[in-house]
Copies of this chain bind each other. A is one copy, B any other.
Amino acid sequence: MTPHKNDKSSRTTGRPTLNEVARLAGVSPITASRALRGVSSVATELVEKVQKAAQELNYVVNSAARALASAQSQSVVVLVPSLSNLLFIETLEAIHQVLRPKGFEVLIGNYHYSRDEEENLLRNYMTYQPRGLLLTGFDRTESARRMIEANNIPCVYMMDLDPGAGLNCVGFSQLNAGETAAQHLISRGRKHLAYVGAQLDQRTLLRGEGFRRALQEAGLYNPDLELLTPRPSSVGLGGELFLQLMQSQPQVDAIFFGNDDLAQGALLEAMRCGIKVPEQVAVLGFNDLPSSEHMVPRLSSISTPREAIGRRAAEQMLTLLAGNSVAEPVVDMGFELRVREST
């Protein structure tokens, strides 16, 4: 009828807007908006009309417009140091399962164990005005720390426990885990215990620290039996490091690996070399990846509740987003020693 009213500049996407839905339904745009959002005060009759119109036009909201108008996004940013580690995938999945049903969008960032990359991701994701932040550990740049504070955005820290206080965190004591590893190996009568770690993120270091402390207490600590490398953790690397260690320190009779993939590599390499596990050397892993219990021999490991951590952290986020403060800001999810055949 009035084609000139439909003049759209070339910038528009051509997708139907709320206005068009409203017109088709014979209501005002705001009523259409309310109807579609399920806001209470709309006559059921109108709701139906609007829904029909929306369906007919194949209408989908424009998130950008919605976010701008409401000054609120529905996104929660999750930053993890790696995706090649199944560990964090499980955590991410759990977070999704909690947040998605509540209407939140999960934005995933992988910073490859780089503090600078994490800072960049953070800066970038801030432009989306996320509602909340789920971060891994406490080791980050000063800038990153300031950004988080300055934006005053709800934040939950995962995987480790806050040594200070006041931060919402869900995890377990990496230090204790290292101690537990040492105690187990010592209880097996081992005397020459080694720690092998890769990646060298703060949590790996912390586990090594706990391990060392326990050895020192037992009078068994030997600095030559610590093998650390910044290279990314992998099965292949585990085999390499195992060989290197056994050749340079043949007296070693127990090894705690900072990650299961390293331990798995060691098991395979041991088999190739004819080194008996656990007779000659006990092998203990960390994280208890799904495949570990199927190794030959079955790998003893410290099982970490990464799925539960994700779930719980997401739930904390939910209460923070609801404007409440969490009752228990630091929650220790613990870990579990799984003794199998390799120790």
Contacts and interface: CB of A to CB of B under 8 A. Distances in A.
Number of copies: 2
A326 interface: no
Given A83-B93, A84-B89, A123-B60, A11 B291 contact: no
B235 A291 contact: yes
A296 interface: yes
A12 interface: yes
Interface stretch (A22-30, A126-134, A175-183, A215-223): A126-134
Contacts of A300: none
A195 to B, nearest CB: 21
A92 interface: yes
A129 B93 contact: no
A3 B243 CA distance: 71
A92 B296 CA distance: 32
A266 to B, nearest CB: 10
A63 B127 contact: yes
A167 interface: no
A236 B290 CA distance: 8
Return the 10 tightest CB-CB contacts between A and B, nearest first. A64-B67, A235-B291, A63-B127, A64-B68, A11-B71, A64-B64, A83-B89, A63-B128, A271-B296, A235-B294
B234 A290 contact: yes
The residue in A73, A84, A128 that gathers the most chain B C-beta atoms within 10 A of its C-beta is A128
Interface string A99-112: 00000010110100
A261 B86 CA distance: 13
Given A234-B290, A290-B235, A296-B268, A128 B64 contact: yes
Interface of A: 11-13, 15, 58, 60-68, 70-71, 73, 83-84, 86, 89-90, 92-93, 96, 105, 107-108, 110, 123-124, 126-129, 150-151, 234-236, 239, 261, 264-265, 268-269, 271-272, 290-291, 293-296
Contacts of A73: 64
Given A107-B107, A239-B294, A295-B268, A129 B62 contact: yes
A150 B58 contact: yes
Contacts of A63: 64, 127-129
Contacts of A291: 234-236, 261, 264-265
15 contacts: A13-B129, A60-B126, A63-B64, A63-B127, A63-B129, A64-B64, A64-B73, A83-B83, A84-B90, A105-B124, A234-B290, A235-B290, A264-B291, A265-B291, A268-B294
Contacts of A261: 291
A229 to B, nearest CB: 17
A239 to B, nearest CB: 6
Contact of A60 (B64, B127, B296): B127
